[in-house]
Amino acid sequence: MKLAWIIFGSLIVLLLAYGLWNKENIRHENLASEMPQTYSDSSRNGGIDPEKSGDFFSRIFKQKKQPAKLPITQALLADSIVSYGLSLIGTPYLPAGITCEGFDCSGFVYHIYQKYGIKLPHSSAMLMQEGKEVPLTEARKGDLIVFTGTDENDTTPGHVGVVITEPGQPVEFVHASSATRQGGVKISKVDSTGYEKRFLQVRRVL
Residues 182-201: tens digit of each pLDDT: 999 999 999 999 999 999 99
Q: Which pLDDT does position 71 carry in this prediction?
A: 57
Q: What is the residue type of 60?
A: I
Assess whether 159 carries a catalytic annotation. yes
Comparing CA positions, the residue from 1, 176, 161, 188 lying closest to residue 96 is 176
Exposed/middle/buried for residue 8 (C-beta within 10 Å: 0-12, 13-18, 19+)? exposed
Distance between CA 172 and CA 140 in Å, rounded?
Answer: 10
Q: State residue 152's pLDDT score.
A: 87
Residue of 28, 105, 111, 122 marked catalytic: 105
Summary mean pLDDT of the chain: 80
Answer yes or no: 100 catalytic.
Answer: no
105 is catalytic: yes
16 vs 70, residue with greater confidence:
16
Model confidence over 119-129: pLDDT tens digits? 999 999 999 99
Of 132, 191, 122, residue with least CA distance to 160: 122
pLDDT per residue as tens digits for the range 29-74: 544 444 444 434 444 444 444 444 445 444 544 555 554 544 568 8
Catalytic hit among 28, 100, 122, 159: 159
Residue 115 phi, psi (nearest 5): -55, -30
Side-chain-facing half-sphere of 79: CA atoms under 13 Å = 5
Confidence of residue 9 (pLDDT cuts 50, 70, 90): low
Domains and CATH numbers, the chain: 74-204 (3.90.1720.10)
| pLDDT higher than threshold 60 for residue 138 | yes
Contact 88, 108 (CB under 8 A): yes
Looking at this protein, which amino acid is placed at residue 121? P
pLDDT at 146 (0 to 100): 98
pLDDT, residue 14, reads 57
92 pLDDT higher than 80: yes
